[in-house]
Amino acid sequence: MVNLAGPINARQLEILQWIADGCPHGVMKDYTYKTTAIALQGRRLVTVSRKGGGWQAQLTEVGVHYLRHGTYPDGFWTMSRKTADADLAVAPAILADNLRSAAQSAGRSWKPAIDGEAQRLVARVIAAGGILEVDTEDDETDYKRLITASKRAPNLPFGKQLRLRAVGPFGSDRCEIFVDEDFSVTVAPRPVPAPRRVAAWHPAVAAYRADADRHEVSKASLARASHILQALASEAARRGYTVVGAERRQPQYNSDFRGSLKDGQIRIAIDGFTYQIRLREHGRQGGASLPFTAHRTLPRWQAVRHAEFVPTGILQLTIGSGYRRDSRPAEFKDTGKTSLEDQLPALLRELEIRAREDAHHRVQEQRQAEQKRRRWERAMEQARHEFHEATRIEELTRQLEAWRLANDLGRYLSAMRENTGTITNKNDRAAAENWLTWVSQYHKAIDPLASSLVMPPELTPSMEELRPFLYGWSPYGPDS
């Protein structure tokens, strides 16, 4: 028995969006959409009519709600049909306001309508088996925008996301949209204890405390900074990860030393992937200019600054160079509502997500590299075949031209012999016969039918001779 209150499938969602778009012509290639529309009518998402002999369908307010939120309205299937239809017989904007108010009253977040195009894209990719190839040469669709919007699509499987990648040789307009893992929804945060007392500092933290030139925090904040790094290092080690101090470079010039501070203070390795962690304190603007002799009295991280460091007590942890992944943060700092200690679970979770992503991408890259090499090898094999075909056609064309010349020359030889027989002067006749002999020999040499017919030998082409038959691939390798 069909569960009418359950979620609709990808095909039904595609038809629902098509009806919402006004049933445009040329989109549906067969008549199965009518059967699907009847099923949607049974779910009270659409109404189907055949008035005037034509087929028509339009969304109900329940259908509008489902497209916006991916679910039926709360309590819809527990109402009587008459009551439900009456309650939902309101304009979409009023319905949205009511839903927003109800969600806020219940303490739930309210999300705006999902982009219907993104839902249709998800349905297309799933229907294609998880990989949809598109040609963007004449396609103006903003697939990057749709892929971003698809993360909120109700028909996207849990723990999955859509990604875009180019296929074929460099410069090709062919792309693939494929279903990929989304570890950000499958990796849960776990507590990171931050004890106030430390019996023994982790070696990486001890090295940090001993290197005043790279503290990047004021003396007043050093104890707290050390405890934060100790909590992070201890929990990472407890989970089986490797924690070591950052590489220590001692550049001679101040500009190089400032750049080396980005190396951070500790490194955490998860499943073979290492991530640098940098801890620093925010300074207040307006500090005085540093005197020339500052390097003699100040730690180097302060001495290389252009102005005096004025501490604020606000600490920040940065992963690597601070770049985000899929809009997830790479920087965590004290705020008016949350301390940095409270954000350590989120930071360590981000490292675990990145490690899973990097391992997944490494496998993908290896697989894609193998697939790319196989495509290149097939392209090389086809190029060699086309090269041999081209050389045969070239030889055939040469023989045909020679055969035509030989035929013309044969008729000319007959005329030459006839003419030579009429020459009475002994010397002139001898000269004509000499010329006739040479022409006869040449005629035999150029006539392709004067010798046995054989297939031309296959020559070994050079790399550059293969290039015209590779259509964008390099003859020197798939990545050249």
Count other C-beta atoms under 10 Å from residue 94's C-beta.
Answer: 10
Instruction: Answer for the pair 147, 177: CB distance below 8 angstroms, yes or no.
Output: yes
Tokens of 76: 């819809």
Which has the closest alpha carbon to 125: 280, 13, 252? 13
The enclosing H or E element of 448 equals none
Instruction: Answer for the pair 67, 114: CB distance below 8 angstroms, yes or no.
Output: yes
Q: Range with the lowest mean pLDDT among 131-135, 153-157, 280-284?
A: 153-157
Tell me the pLDDT tens digit for each residue of 19-35.
Answer: 887 777 777 777 778 88
DSSP string, 10-57: HHHHHHHHHHHTT--TTS--SSHHHHHHHHHHHTTSEEEE-GGG--EE
Q: Range with the lowest mean pLDDT among 37-41, 68-72, 313-317, 385-389?
A: 68-72
Q: Range with the lowest mean pLDDT among 44-48, 346-350, 372-376?
A: 44-48
Q: What residues does each domain of the chain span?
A: 1-113, 115-181, 203-359, 362-469
Size (the chain), residues: 480
CA distance from start to end of the chain: 58
Tell me the pLDDT tens digit for each residue of 424-442.
Answer: 999 999 999 999 999 999 9
By CB atoms closer than 10 A (0-12, 13-18, 19+), residue 213 is middle
Residue 235 Cα distances to 25, 190, 194, 247, 467, angstroms: 60, 10, 9, 21, 56
pLDDT, the chain, mean: 84
Residue 450 in this model has a pLDDT that exceeds 90: no
Banded pLDDT at 17 (limits 50, 70, 90):
confident
Residue 270 Cα distances to 152, 194, 204, 245, 417, angstroms: 29, 21, 16, 15, 94
Tell me the pLDDT tens digit for each residue of 360-387.
Answer: 999 989 998 999 999 999 999 999 999 9
Q: Range with the lowest mean pLDDT among 71-85, 232-246, 393-407?
A: 71-85
For the chain, give the percent of residues with pLDDT over 70: 87
What average pLDDT score do residues 134-154 get? 85
**The whole model's pTM is what?**
0.61
Side-chain half-sphere of 254: how many Cα atoms within 13 Å? 11
Banded pLDDT at 467 (limits 50, 70, 90):
very high
Residue 462 in this model has a pLDDT that exceeds 60: yes
DSSP string, 70-103: SSPPTTGGGS-HHHHHHHT-S-HHHHHHHHHHHH
- 3-state DSSP assignment of residue 178: strand
pLDDT of residue 82: 46
Residue 84 in this model has a pLDDT that exceeds 60: no
pLDDT of residue 79: 54
The enclosing H or E element of 222 equals helix 219-238
